[in-house]
Amino acid sequence: MKKYAIAMMIVASLAAAGCGTTTGQRSGSGAAMGAAGGALIGSLSANAGKGALIGAGVGALGGFLVDQHEKGNID
């Protein structure tokens, strides 16, 4: 069961990875995907809330970094 949940999270993240064209949109979509993934993984260990918070933070940072890389601001 855990393998299927993690596989579905990866597929959903890849499908939505290109969402947004502005910094805010990319950070927001990254935060949403991170929160969903974090809640899913956290629920497997009975701590969905903490997983969602950590996932949202990591996702927002990831979305911001992807946006900056696309703009050529970072390598």
pTM of the model: 0.64
CB count within 10 Å of CB 11 equals 10
**Which of the listed ranges 5-9, 10-14, 44-48 does the model predict with the highest average pLDDT?**
44-48
Environment class of 16 (CB within 10 Å of its CB; exposed 0-12, middle 13-18, buried 19+) = middle
pLDDT per residue as tens digits for the range 34-70? 888 788 778 877 788 888 888 888 888 888 888 888 8
Q: Which residues fall within 8 angstroms of residue 31, CB to CB, at 6 or more apart?
A: 56, 57, 59, 60, 63
Counting residues of the chain whose pLDDT is more than 90, the rounded percentage is: 0
Checking if the pLDDT of 31 tops 70, the result is yes
What's the mean pLDDT in 14-40?
75
